[in-house]
Structure 1
Amino acid sequence: MNRTSFAYLASHGLSMLGNSTAAVVLPLVVLQTTGSALDAGVVAAAAAVPAVLAGLVMGSVIDRVHRRSASVATDLVSAAAVAALPLVDLVTGLSVGWFVLFGIVGSFGDVPGLTAREALVPHVAQHSGLAVDRLVALREGVGAFTMLVGPAVAAGLVVLLDGSGALWITAATSAAAASVTLLLPRDVGAMSGGPVVGTSPRAQLAHLREGWTTLLRNPFLVSVTALSLLLATVLTAIQGLLLPVHFTGLGQEGRLGLVLSALAAGMLVGAGGHAVWGTLLSRRSWFVAGLLVSCAGVALLGSLPPIALMLSGAGLLGVAGGLLATVTGALMSERIPDTLRGRVTGTQNAVLTAAPALGVLGAGVAVEFGSLSLAGVLVIVVWSLTVVGALLAPALRDLEPSPPALMVQ
């Protein structure tokens, strides 16, 4: 690993840490400020729609600018949006309107930032000499580690500092990610030309539509996007509703953190294992193993067993998630043309942003009009059918490296 790959992984980790701590700190600060759970929900919902739109639109921008610069800019936007809140608190005091406003501003940093970093993968791999599979596995491992420590860091910040103080630290983490990204060589992320895009609204729309068309007409990309969307939906249904309702009913809310930690630890093991032993098996073998293990994990969690089995299920699902994210991430880095990477991955990330709402809403309806057990069974059935479809999908059978024509030019 050289300076280029280290800087890329460090900046990704810092950015993800900032996002994961903000996801915990912000709702708590809203509750401390307004005392209303409804206000916390309003703030989250208000930022969700702009995040989807930002993912769709900003992908086009990322395809026309230096990817390193785009990554730096998006992290700075995220940092500024969070830092603005304690500043406003010092001057006028915070209200729900300020949280909504800066939540919308921050949405133009979070999803586009993830897209920019994903678009950098082939460039970083080429410059550092790392195989794409290994680089993506290391990146997913770093992301899993931030998922493991992020909530603990956030909880510590809230305990040690008041709400505004915790937001300063969260903003500084995103700013640090931007600074570390600047350590990448200037030629990493530089665009190789491509067609000139006009400034008229029609030309801008045509440029954006080219990315959507590429995604929708490519069976492989459609299959991977659908698989990722359903996995994210199932995960959020389990994490965001099934487990909280289950443990609340038992009066064992503290065990939720243990299960989520087991999930994050499993993801770290899955991604780390692939980084070390990825060359021992074909990509298809890793992919199939990830799908089958994920079935076992979802079956255990969805059946809501005793805590020991639930921890095992969370670990298995985490390992599978790490494997699947690594294999599909490497494939998408190879099979999306460099000039379209921002638009295609931006569209995918925008779609995946809607997954939490879909998962929690679907599970909530099942619990409200049926039972918690019914919701668990539905989650198991949905994922089992998804796995069968992925195993049989023709577009997901040949997963070996693509021809050089689709690599970075």
Structure 2
Amino acid sequence: MRAKAEALALLAGSGTADFAFRLAQVALPLVILRETGSVAATGLVGGAAGIPVLLSPWWARKARQWVDSGPRLAIVACVSALALASVPTAAVLQVLSPALLVLSGLLLGCGDALSNPGRSALLADTGDRWGDGRAVLLLTWQDGLRRIGMLLGPSAGAFAVAAGFTNELLWVEAFAVAAAGLLACTVQPTRAADAPELPPSIRQSLQGRRDVLYGWIVRGTGCVTWFAFTLGLSVLGEERGKPGVYLAAGMTGYGVGALLGTTISLAVVRRTKPVVAASVAWAWMGLCWVGMGVWTTPVVVAVMGALSGVTVVIGIAAISMLITRTSAGAERRTLLSGQTVVVNAGSAAGLLAGGPIIGAVGAASALVGSGIVTTLIAVLVLIRSGQRASRLSNDDAAQIPAIAATIRTAKSSQ
């Protein structure tokens, strides 16, 4: 029962902090614009926060292993809360500047690089203590709570901003992050007695886990091409004289589909090979984007968004199952950190290249092209993984005569 209580505390903290993040994302650009008068400064916090995460394979190799208990997670959360609170504090004191925004973002990024994989690893370890199969269940529901925040948070934030609450939402996020850390204080560490002195690198943790690598390839590709869905639909709405309509339809459909996918994902991945489920999931997502680019109406965009939301959640659950089944302790934290880097690096690269691509070929063509690339990579990974599985089966079959001969020799010598 203690493991169950600890798991619920971690989920509650994660869901609360993420929902507060969605609220604050609506208010943060407005606060910065009001205080600095600079449009360019509105993205400084988010941009700076991404740098430590992308560089974490080099600087956080030992540090991420330190976050192996609830109290240590709480310490990191409090540091992140201080970084978040610095912005509304500076706004109240009328000293908000680009330099402070960058510093806040860097500190927040360091906290995210440690706390996100640390919380997921703690949640998975708690699931292992709770019962068989609970680790991937808890990670799936953590992702489900995040998607509830994605669906409801922006609308709630917009209502709050319309009512005159801007700085207050930034304070809410800071307090929510600190509270999430305090909720985790009861979670005890699961430390292996034979843990290596030097924690494994991300590359070392992938040794013998080719299927995890395959999963990262298809998910990373989806993150790189994600710009076609978000930026593409925004531009498409502007081109069609319906600003915001296409993006709202796509994101709403995606959110609803993701929630549905959360309820069925475990049943699906338990009945299929995880790498097959992940490959098919992102291949289908790519086809949905092709459909959006070919039949560009809000209804089709909403339906395709919902279908892609269902499949992406199934794919993420499949990769989580691969990680939780094959790792524990330091290796699990390293793999979860690696997954965070793949997602953030892929998304950043896509957003960097997405604008020029959409400007060159148009939003609809970008959706079709990105969908084709995503599907093609997923199919190639599916074929490659199938060939590898077949080769391993043939190697095992080839060893059977030798094993049988060894057994006969042993019996004859008795």
The interval holding the TM-score normalised by the smaller chain is 0.7 to 0.9
Partner residue of 2:402? none
> 1:99 offset after TM fit, Å?
1.4
> 1:213 offset after TM fit, Å?
2.6
Q: Which has the larger radius of gyration?
A: 2
After superposition, where does 1:208-227 map in structure 2 within 5 Å? 210-215=201-206, 218-227=209-218
Residue number among 237, 249, 254 corresponding to 1:263 in the alignment: 254
Name the aligned partner's letter for residue 388 of structure 1. V
Residue number among 292, 296, 299 corresponding to 2:290 in the alignment: 299
Residues 261 and 104 from structure 1, CA distance in 2 versus in 1: closer, same or farther, beyond 3 angstroms? same
**Cα deviation 1:224-272 (Å, max 9, x = unaligned):** 2222211122223321x10111112223223222321221221111112
Residues 354 and 166 from structure 1, CA distance in 2 versus in 1: closer, same or farther, beyond 3 angstroms? same
Partner residue of 1:355? 346
Q: Equivalents in 2 of 1:196, 1:287: separation in Å? A: 31
After superposition, where does 1:116-195 map in structure 2 within 5 Å? 116-129=118-131, 131=133, 132-184=135-187, 186=188, 189-195=189-195
User: CA contact under 8 A between 2:26 and 2:154: conserved in structure 1?
Assistant: yes
Partner residue of 1:204? none
Residues 366 and 85 from structure 1, CA distance in 2 versus in 1: closer, same or farther, beyond 3 angstroms? closer
**Cα deviation 1:3-31 (Å, max 9, x = unaligned):** 23322221221232233333333223222
**Cα deviation 1:287-326 (Å, max 9, x = unaligned):** 4653453233222234361111000010011001111111
Residues 138 and 370 from structure 1, CA distance in 2 versus in 1: closer, same or farther, beyond 3 angstroms? closer
After superposition, where does 1:6-405 map in structure 2 within 5 Å? 6-54=8-56, 56-129=58-131, 131=133, 132-184=135-187, 186=188, 189-195=189-195, 197=197, 207=198, 210-215=201-206, 218-239=209-230, 241-255=231-245, 256-275=247-266, 277-278=267-268, 281-284=271-274, 286-287=277-278, 290-303=281-294, 305-394=296-385
> 1:93 offset after TM fit, Å?
2.6
Q: Equivalents in 2 of 1:367, 1:391: separation in Å? A: 29
TM-score (norm 2): 0.83
Q: Equivalents in 2 of 1:29, 1:169: separation in Å? A: 14
**Cα deviation 1:47-86 (Å, max 9, x = unaligned):** 3212322465335323245332343233222221111222
- SS of 1:121's partner is helix
User: CA contact under 8 A between 2:269 and 2:277: conserved in structure 1?
Assistant: no
Which range moved further: 362-371 or 388-397? Answer: 388-397
Name the aligned partner's letter for residue 192 of structure 2. S
Name the aligned partner's letter for residue 356 of structure 1. S
Which range moved further: 94-103 or 341-350? Answer: 341-350
Name the aligned partner's letter for residue 272 of structure 2. S
> 1:161 offset after TM fit, Å?
3.9
Residues 253 and 394 from structure 1, CA distance in 2 versus in 1: closer, same or farther, beyond 3 angstroms? same
For structure 1, the residue ranges without an aligned partner over 5 or more in a row are 198-206, 399-409
Partner residue of 1:405? none
Name the aligned partner's letter for residue 242 of structure 2. Q
Which range moved further: 120-129 or 211-220? Answer: 211-220
Name the aligned partner's letter for residue 179 of structure 1. L
Residues 363 and 210 from structure 1, CA distance in 2 versus in 1: closer, same or farther, beyond 3 angstroms? closer
Residues 151 and 318 from structure 1, CA distance in 2 versus in 1: closer, same or farther, beyond 3 angstroms? same
Q: Equivalents in 1 of 2:383, 2:159: separation in Å? A: 46
Partner residue of 1:403? none
- SS of 2:358's partner is helix
Name the aligned partner's letter for residue 32 of structure 2. V
Query: Relative contact order (alpha carbons < 8 A, sep ≥ 6): 1 or 2 greater?
Result: 1
Name the aligned partner's letter for residue 16 of structure 2. L
Name the aligned partner's letter for residue 239 of structure 2. G
List structure 1 runs of 4+ shifted beyond 6 angstroms.
395-398
Q: Equivalents in 2 of 1:325, 1:355: separation in Å? A: 15
- SS of 1:191's partner is coil
Name the aligned partner's letter for residue 44 of structure 1. G
Q: Equivalents in 2 of 1:55, 1:71: separation in Å? A: 19
For structure 2, the residue ranges without an aligned partner over 5 or more in a row are 390-414
Q: Equivalents in 1 of 2:196, 2:136: separation in Å? A: 32
Q: Equivalents in 2 of 1:168, 1:98: separation in Å? A: 17
Partner residue of 1:407? none
- SS of 1:135's partner is helix
Residues 170 and 64 from structure 1, CA distance in 2 versus in 1: closer, same or farther, beyond 3 angstroms? closer
Q: Equivalents in 1 of 2:291, 2:303: separation in Å? A: 8
Name the aligned partner's letter for residue 241 of structure 2. G
Residues 298 and 36 from structure 1, CA distance in 2 versus in 1: closer, same or farther, beyond 3 angstroms? same
Please, what is the CA RMSD of the aligned residues?
2.7
Which range moved further: 226-235 or 336-345? Answer: 336-345
Q: Equivalents in 2 of 1:232, 1:111: separation in Å? A: 18
